[in-house]
Structure 1
């Protein structure tokens, strides 16, 4: 799947980008009210390569909507306390209330990605996780939640370019860590894990949306467009007027 993506897609004009950005941000603001009025929850899951553009997309999604209506969860390694519970406990506790948008910057997919590749989960654990994830998302989808998942894809060449830019920029230096470099060394292993994840957890209820992230403007607009289109479609299916 990843090898077939056209990473050359871009929005060249800054003027066009700003126009499209404003259009979809205003749409999302209006749709946010629909979620509140009709008690629909919305869950946005962001995964992708390090420096793939997840943070930039999340910023454009949240900057023009009501801050009372969304929560962003940056998922990192589980704490000692969280390890005392079943794997999904820390994610269940962060599921947004009806009417709100919950944004996960990394998510429960860590089990079949970083935990798989780095050996933090046993083979039995990460293999079992595909079915567990599908059941988890199906349950949410059947109970007034809209579940959307995004994989931000860039080339290995673009990643190293962005890594170097972050290292040289004092305002972005905090974004690059030793862990990022270690993960890059295992690119091929991660690519295998990503392909299997996309194949085994893209379902009718919550399909994966793969974002061509080589051009940041294109990626942000595509992500916003897909979110607004999906919420509009879900509203129509429920008989909610737009």
Structure 2
């Protein structure tokens, strides 16, 4: 698993027509694969991490808009509430895991322990360093239990993030997406990048691999997310035969 600094974030489609054709192709394939996973009772867990304004919401929307809405749940993960904070940090994720044949989508996830909690010092150094082992064991338990796990880091350049922040600030329909916390996180870009690189290195496993998607061009990123999920689902079904 390479470092973020080595990722090309500028792949793109030349025309909107090409994007629409590819999007439709993979959305149709996902619909068929969803049915097969349901019939075989295979749970699918998809984790989305990435920079603020990297396009996680847009990718999730294209992933889910053509599949059966009865077969998936999206979990938007934020800071733990008062009750959740009383337990081990993985506790609050167990009851959000998908049932057999269902899809669970996490818009941010248990990786907060080694990202925001690390950088913002919400977890001690001992806690976040121990979390690499805990997370790997957690995901191994899920994989051994039959789940397919697909993890994404959506990567954009620092300049692209700034332009998206400014666009959100000036767009009344998107202003709600931008918070003071986003600006504060941006000031710690280098610290977060170091944390992400270490996370990718320590938690990229055969049973739960990371996929870094360059996202300066949203159309390309969305299609790459769908294509990656399709390929992972097809590979899993091939092993089921």
Regarding TM over 0.5, the answer is yes
Q: Deviations over 1:153-203 (max 9, x none)?
A: 000000000000001111111000000000000001001000000000001
1:229 deviates by 0.6
What corresponds to 2:58 in structure 1? Answer: 56
Give the 5 Å matches for 1:144-159.
144-159=146-161
What corresponds to 1:221 in structure 2? Answer: 223
1:143 deviates by 1.0
**Residue 6 (str. 1) matches residue 33 (str. 2):** no
Kept after mapping to 1: 8 A contact 2:10/2:215: no
What corresponds to 2:125 in structure 1? Answer: 123
Residue ranges of structure 1 left out of the alignment (5+ in a row) = none
What corresponds to 2:27 in structure 1? Answer: 25
Q: Deviations over 1:70-106 (max 9, x none)?
A: 0000000000100122111100110011111000000
1:35 deviates by 1.1
What corresponds to 1:167 in structure 2? Answer: 169
1:5 deviates by 1.0
For 1:4 and 1:85, the matched residues in 2 are separated by 38
Is the deviation greater in 215-224 or in 7-16?
7-16
Q: Deviations over 1:87-137 (max 9, x none)?
A: 111001100111110000000000000000000000000000000000011
**What is the TM-score when the length of structure 2 is the normalising length?**
0.98
Which stretches of structure 1, 4 residues or longer, exceed 4 Å deviation after superposition?
Answer: none
Residue ranges of structure 2 left out of the alignment (5+ in a row) = none
**Residue 236 (str. 1) matches residue 232 (str. 2):** no
Give the 5 Å matches for 1:81-96.
81-96=83-98
For 2:88 and 2:7, the matched residues in 1 are separated by 36
For 2:8 and 2:125, the matched residues in 1 are separated by 33
Secondary structure at the counterpart of residue 224 of structure 1: helix
Q: What is the RMSD computed on CA atoms of the aligned residues?
A: 0.5
Kept after mapping to 1: 8 A contact 2:9/2:213: no
For 1:87 and 1:197, the matched residues in 2 are separated by 17
For 2:9 and 2:58, the matched residues in 1 are separated by 18
What corresponds to 1:138 in structure 2? Answer: 140
Is the deviation greater in 81-90 or in 161-170?
81-90
Quick one: which of 76, 79, 84 aligns to 2:78?
Answer: 76
Quick one: which of 176, 181, 193 aligns to 2:183?
Answer: 181
For 1:165 and 1:87, the matched residues in 2 are separated by 34
Q: Count how many residue pairs are aligned between Structure 1 and Structure 2.
A: 239
1:4 deviates by 1.1
**What is the TM-score when the length of structure 1 is the normalising length?**
0.98
1:23 deviates by 0.3
Is the deviation greater in 6-15 or in 20-29?
6-15
